[in-house]
Amino acid sequence: MSRLDPDKQARLMIRKPLVSDVEAIRELINDSAELGKMLFRPAAELYEHLRDFHVYEQDGRVVGCCALHVYWKDLAEVKSLAVESQLRGKGIGKTLVRAALEEAGRLGVGRVFALTLETKFFENLGFERVDFDALPLKVWTDCVKCPRKDCCDETALIYSLSQDVSTT
């Protein structure tokens, strides 16, 4: 499989979603959730939080998604990141996370965190590991509802927007 190169070309396919994209987003997330990679998100929740998302469209199909959820004036989360399995390793995930970081920058959010099993992927993008105690608001919202809260195997990572969020 060839990589999407250059990144500028890839960015042209990034866009904010329409309500008609919810079913494709739900399938992307739930396919990975079935493998234990992320949490399921019901359609109702996706409609409610649709404006958090960017989607990646290729040949008229949504093949990747990523949400940025703002928690507080200085903290947001990158969540619900998924790329269609056959299209992984082409830079789509990286492009989606960078779009979320750019949006955080536009909103004035200083730090963006991720809770993930894909530690290396996020470290490659400049995220740094932190202790869960650094994320008090997150712990009191999503984590208390998570079925894996007593056996959490995810790593917490944070990206500081004072770093250069370069997309070139």
Instruction: Look up residue 116 and give its two tokens.
Output: 């993930």
Which two tokens mark 164?
A: 């250069």
Q: Which residue number is nearest to ligand COA in terms of Cβ?
A: 93
In Å, the largest CA–CA distance within the chain is 43
Residues 34-63 that bind ligand COA (CB under 6 A): 37-38
Q: How far is the CB of 155 from ligand COA (least distance, A)?
A: 10
Minimum CB distance to ligand COA smaller for 73 or for 148? 148
How many residues lie near ligand COA (CB under 6 A)?
Answer: 19
Picking from 25, 23, 6, 5, the residue whose alpha carbon sits closest to that of residue 15 is 25
Token pair belonging to 130:
């932190």
Closest CB 107 distance from ligand COA, rounded Å:
20
Using the rule CB under 6 A, is 81 a contact of ligand COA?
yes
User: Shortest Cβ distance from residue 66 to ligand COA (Å)?
Assistant: 8
**Binding to ligand COA by residue 83, rule CB under 6 A?**
yes
Least CB distance to ligand COA at residue 73 (A) = 23
From 157, 161, 69, 153, select the one nearest 113 (Cα to Cα): 157
Q: Compute the distance between CA of residue 17 and CA of residue 24 in angstroms, rounded to an integer.
A: 10
- Which residues lie closer than 8 Å to 140 by C-beta, 6 or more apart? none
Using CB under 6 A as the binding rule, the residues of this chain from 86 to 125 that contact ligand COA are 88-94, 114, 116, 118, 120-121, 124
d(CA 42, CA 35): 16
Given the rule CB under 6 A, which residues bind ligand COA? 32, 37-38, 81-83, 88-94, 114, 116, 118, 120-121, 124
